[in-house]
DNA sequence: TAGATTGTTAATCGATTAACAATC
DNA sequence: TAGATTGTTAATCGATTAACAATC
């Protein structure tokens, strides 16, 4: 479900299932916790049990990308962290922009977790001219009309979008033509992007709905 | 024609795949857009193409829960919306609390999308006593020590958590013993909950990592 | 060496797609 | 009736788990 027009072959030789990549991020997170706790090595069994997965699945997932473990020993945490970062592309630093400096947008600007994983929000955009030139959380706000210029100047490849629903698709079109390669969409709307541009959607209400379903269902069972 | 509990196994817990339930939320979202656009009916083909899914998958997904369509006609949008809401449990209103009135927490308090889907944040909690008694976005902030009392008084079943990493598991334990049945976790940490309590995790940095992976990979392919 | 744990192949399980009779 | 579209069964495809030789 990563691209809009999946009927063609935009993800052509995907070969790595999407679920595997998202578990990779979870492994990374747990490994970083293990390192913080002073652990040098771990095993597929340990990693799996931290996340509720089988050991076989952990090994199989990693095997998509190479051989990172040592038979009889396990995985060296620091080494595996750096391998996973290489795979995810977070061994490099990414410049990210934000469109929509509202409620949610400002929270994203202040969110510490991005920087820790290699993402830096370097510019924000809004159509409200009264915000232009201001800074929030140390990030300069530009008018949306300056998008293409700033993207080029600051070498920005990823965008986060937190705008009103009606604005979503028009903003996406502008992001795409400014050369943005990936969009993280917080607007509860299905956006469409051309082949070659990636998107990820985060719909907070949908997550709550999933929770509601799970709670109701587990209630019925009793 | 459609309804409820026929045989012993009808909408029993023949474990509907998680992926199906999350697509259900997407169908709901698209249906609500269609209704806003004045459409009365739709089809599995239309719904599918809006989301990049096959028509067969749409029909199969819905078939887990009943017969909601009309051969030769399609689905009546309003009717299907109400059926899906019933399934997800959002035909009723849910009282939700928030723990952690920081950056992200305050944005969640102000997020309009929850209310539109039947969720109402009725109380917020923090350990910072200087916040106690204040209101943010019209929501009263309590000290965490008042958790159990307020949960009981206001009949709260769901919680959102946006606290520092170290606080996450202790807060979870308090939520559980206060009787909370589902937790939406914004802290980038794996929390553990007892059987009978549900959780959903939203890790913003992980979503960006998925995007980064997709962008890097599609770059390599060319 | 004995014990631990990997990477990988084969077996199992589950989810998606295709096809079509039934229906409006 | 002819055309459209459902619900569902069967066929295909993909992902997870089990098992084990290879390795340290």
Q: What is the average pLDDT score of chain A?
A: 93
Question: What are the helix (H) ranges across A13-111?
Answer: 18-36, 44-51, 55-63, 77-88, 103-110
B56/A contact by beta carbon, under 8 A: no
pLDDT value, residue B222: 66
Half-sphere exposure of B172 (CA within 13 A, CB side): 23
Average pLDDT over residues A52-63: 98
pLDDT value, residue A25: 98
Identify the band that residue A15 occupies on the pLDDT scale cut at 50, 70 and 90. Answer: confident
Asked if the Cβ of residue A43 lies within 7 A of any atom of strand C, the reply is yes
> How many DSSP H helices and E strands does chain B contain?
9, 9
Residues in chain A with CB shorter than 8 Å from the CB of B213 are: 21, 24, 87-89
Task: Specify which residue's alpha carbon is closest to the C1' of nucleotide C24.
Answer: B72
Distance, in angstroms, between A16 CA and closest chain B CA? Answer: 11
Positions in chain C where some atom is under 7 Å from a protein CB: 3-9, 14-19, 22-24
CB contact under 8 A, A3 and B114: no
Asked if the Cβ of residue B15 lies within 7 A of any atom of strand D, the reply is no
Neighbours of A14 (CB within 10 A): 12
Distance CA A34, CA A205 (A): 32
B7 versus B180: the higher-pLDDT residue is: B180
Residue closest to A177 by CA, chosen among A140, A200, A149, A199: A149
Task: Indicate the pTM of the whole model.
Answer: 0.93
Q: Please give the full DSSP string across A91-129, using - where no structure is assigned.
A: TS-EEEEEE--SHHHHHHHH-THHHHTTEEEEEEEES-G
Average pLDDT over residues A153-179: 98
Residues in chain B with CB shorter than 8 Å from the CB of A12 are: 221
Strands A75-76, A41-42: pairing kind: antiparallel
Percent of chain B with pLDDT over 70: 93
pLDDT, tens digit, 9 for 90 and up, residues B149-169: 999 999 999 999 999 999 999
Average pLDDT over residues A71-92: 98
Interface of A with B in 142-161 (CB under 8 A): 157-158, 160
Asked if the Cβ of residue A17 lies within 7 A of any atom of strand D, the reply is yes
Distance, in angstroms, between B85 CA and closest chain A CA? Answer: 9
pLDDT, tens digit, 9 for 90 and up, residues B2-32: 323 222 333 334 589 999 999 999 999 999 9
pLDDT value, residue A2: 33
CB contact under 8 A, A25 and B215: no
Interface of B with A in 71-130 (CB under 8 A): 87-90, 94, 96, 103-104, 106-108, 110-111, 113-114, 116-119
Report all structural domains of chain A as residue ranges with CATH numbers, in order of start: 4-87 (1.10.10.10), 94-206 (3.40.50.720)
pLDDT value, residue B14: 58
pLDDT, tens digit, 9 for 90 and up, residues B31-53: 999 999 999 999 999 999 999 99
Distance from the Cα of residue A161 to its chain's centroid: 12
Distance CA A147, CA A111 (A): 22
* pLDDT value at A222 more than 80: no
* Residue A64 structure tokens: 């998509």
B166/A contact by beta carbon, under 8 A: no
pLDDT value, residue B220: 83
Which nucleotide's C1' sits nearest to the alpha carbon of A67? C7
Distance CA B24, CA B36 (A): 18
pLDDT, tens digit, 9 for 90 and up, residues B58-117: 999 999 999 999 999 999 999 999 999 999 999 999 999 999 999 999 999 999 999 999
3-state secondary structure B143-168: EHHHHHHHHHHHCCCEEEECCCHHHH
CB contact under 8 A, B119 and A205: yes
B200/A contact by beta carbon, under 8 A: yes
pLDDT value, residue A219: 84
């Amino acid at each position: 479900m990563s691209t809009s027009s999946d009927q063609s072959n935009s993800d052509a030789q995907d070969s790595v299932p999407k679920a595997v990549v998202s578990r990779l991020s979870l492994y990374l997170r747990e490994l970083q916790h293990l390192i913080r706790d002073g652990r040098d090595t771990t095993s597929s069994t340990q990693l799996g049990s931290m996340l509720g997965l089988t050991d076989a699945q952990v090994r199989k997932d990693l095997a998509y990308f190479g051989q990172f473990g040592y038979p009889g020993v396990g995985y060296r945490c620091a080494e595996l962290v750096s391998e996973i970062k290489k795979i995810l592309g977070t061994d490099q630093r990414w410049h990210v922009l934000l469109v929509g400096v509202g409620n949610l947008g400002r929270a994203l600007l202040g969110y510490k977790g991005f920087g820790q994983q290699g993402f830096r929000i370097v510019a924000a955009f809004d159509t409200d001219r009264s915000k232009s030139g201001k800074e929030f959380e140390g990030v300069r706000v530009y008018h949306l009309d300056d998008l293409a210029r700033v993207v080029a100047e600051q070498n920005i490849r990823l965008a986060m979008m937190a705008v009103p629903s009606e604005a979503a698709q028009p903003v996406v079109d502008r992001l795409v033509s400014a050369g943005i390669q990936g969009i993280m969409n917080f607007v509860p709307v299905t956006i469409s992007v051309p082949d070659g541009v990636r998107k990820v959607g985060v719909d907070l209400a949908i997550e709550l709905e999933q929770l509601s379903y799970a709670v109701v269902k587990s209630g019925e069972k009793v």
